Chains A and B, each alone.
Chain A
């Protein structure tokens, strides 16, 4: 009996450690060229938790997420100090209490570039790219 409990504890510790690994995915942020202000980690957190709704020039902030479990996990852990599920539940909470809408998710990089280029005040995170991105009307930054 004691041995079983010990084994169970070991399994729990293993699962705990394995599930706690942060995905070391590098991220970039792409923004519509209408956004010219400085963006740092604090600002990203405020934007993605809905606490900053307008840029300094009073333009509405429209933010998107990248539709990949690994990328979202890397983003939420690095910038929001939340897990992916905590982030998703945070926005579901806003939705079902009438305080906000779940940010839209974009599936591919091409689509992301297209939408950000067309949408004023928009911003989103994408996985870092080996090749340089050249796209009209888009600004790309890396935030450490």
Chain B
């Protein structure tokens, strides 16, 4: 912790020194910052790491330096170090750093690492004292995606357009690349959902636009933000989620059609035992390339996310000390996944997949006293809009599925094995001089049987959602100090990191959070 934040201090000292020396001695600059320390505890199960016994691994430290070079040109940089149980790990990062040229109030240009106006709160999610709650609604502001969806490296235009008749419109448009670290929150999210070990994540060009319209009706704002991103993922896996077909495929040797067994027996130099038949099959029918695969673990897979589209609609109403807000997000994921080592045996190992996540929240805050603010929100997240009904998960349990979402892949690959089996077998038979040929009919009963023991899991419908009802108290002792406490009544697990929850994951849990923040 100390050494990581030493880099932060060093960076600031160098920057301040730069401003206060030489040509910059007449340039005024400001330094501000914040420091917060929190505590998290769950009554059962875990929350983004080990929280069942309570943890102080929850903090944020930020420092920024900004300066105006002229009336129109501004420069600034903010360093941030944070930790949220198993996320963040207090690595000091540049939160934002950009140059801003304001040509006019209706048009400005920024370049550098720019905060993204994603929804109403993305810009301030690192800045605890600016909101009532400690944790933002997870449905829109997923903690796993936090380090990626808060800023973009590139260029942007922005401005305000005002008219008495239509109110004020604030717009921003950005183009650049998202910060997607191989060991960051997105990688974790993929890992705990896809049961893979992410080795490489490459961000491609992304575009974002946002608009916030303050209506002429006092206090009402409507907003919309859209983000289109692309990325490439390379992973390693031991799991049959992606490679089950190969491991299963090897064991079709136990189910060879009688005609083939007969030929193998005739040609065999051994005692025609079942073991040797199986071995003959592996040696002769299954290509060498594929044979090796059964012993080479983990294996490599890649996914090309050619569409990561986020669309958020926002509503906000402020009346005196009361603020009501609501947001809805539609998140569509389109990707092509490829099993790089298996394209010989399976023709269907590159698949286009589409995922549609729907989420929303309703929130209200009220400043009851000068020093006390109350907040409540209800947040809902559905992992897949097409699979949010309980019946979907009940139907999964009735089938012989093992690990999520392996069932469909098993089915597809069973068909693939059968389709590929016939030409392999016939080629072998032909080489042996046999007149026997196999047809699809002969292999229709081949079933995929694992060569290792699969753990059958029971599907619960609550793996598909994450709902939380949250009550917050924000006590502002003075403009510099905030102390907050809040309680989360959580139902569902889809946004939690499954690795920390073991096999038997409780559906409901209570999360207590508290945090103290100092800012200057």
Contact = CB atoms under 8 A, between A and B. Distances in A.
B23 interface: no
Contacts of B68: 101
B479 A88 contact: yes
Contact of A93 (B76, B102, B123, B370): B123
Nearest to B124: A93
Contacts of B367: 19, 83, 85
Contact of B164 (A12, A42, A54, A77): A42
Contacts of A53: 71, 102, 105
Contacts of B124: 93, 96-97
A82 B105 contact: no
B321 A85 contact: yes
Contacts of B160: 51
A97 B115 contact: yes
B318 A81 contact: yes
A81 B219 contact: yes
The interface residues of chain B, by DSSP majority, are classed as: strand
A20 B115 contact: no
Contacts of B345: none
Contacts, number: 82
A96 B105 contact: no
Interface in B15-46: 30, 32, 34
B129 A54 contact: no
Contacts of B168: 51
B383 interface: no
Nearest to A15: B368
A97 B96 contact: yes
A92 B130 contact: yes
Interface residues of A, number: 28
Contact of B369 (A19, A54, A86, A88): A19
A42 B519 CA distance: 31
A52 interface: yes
B100 interface: yes
Interface in A86-114: 86, 88-89, 92-93, 95-99, 101
Interface string B66-105: 1010010010111000000000000000001010101001
Interface string B300-321: 0000000000000000001011
A12 B374 CA distance: 11
Given A19-B367, A83-B320, A95-B32, 17 more contacts: A15-B369, A46-B105, A51-B162, A53-B71, A54-B105, A60-B71, A82-B318, A83-B367, A92-B129, A92-B130, A93-B127, A96-B127, A97-B123, A98-B66, A98-B78, A101-B30, A101-B68
14 contacts: A15-B369, A19-B367, A52-B105, A81-B218, A82-B318, A83-B321, A92-B127, A92-B130, A92-B519, A95-B64, A96-B34, A96-B62, A97-B123, A101-B30
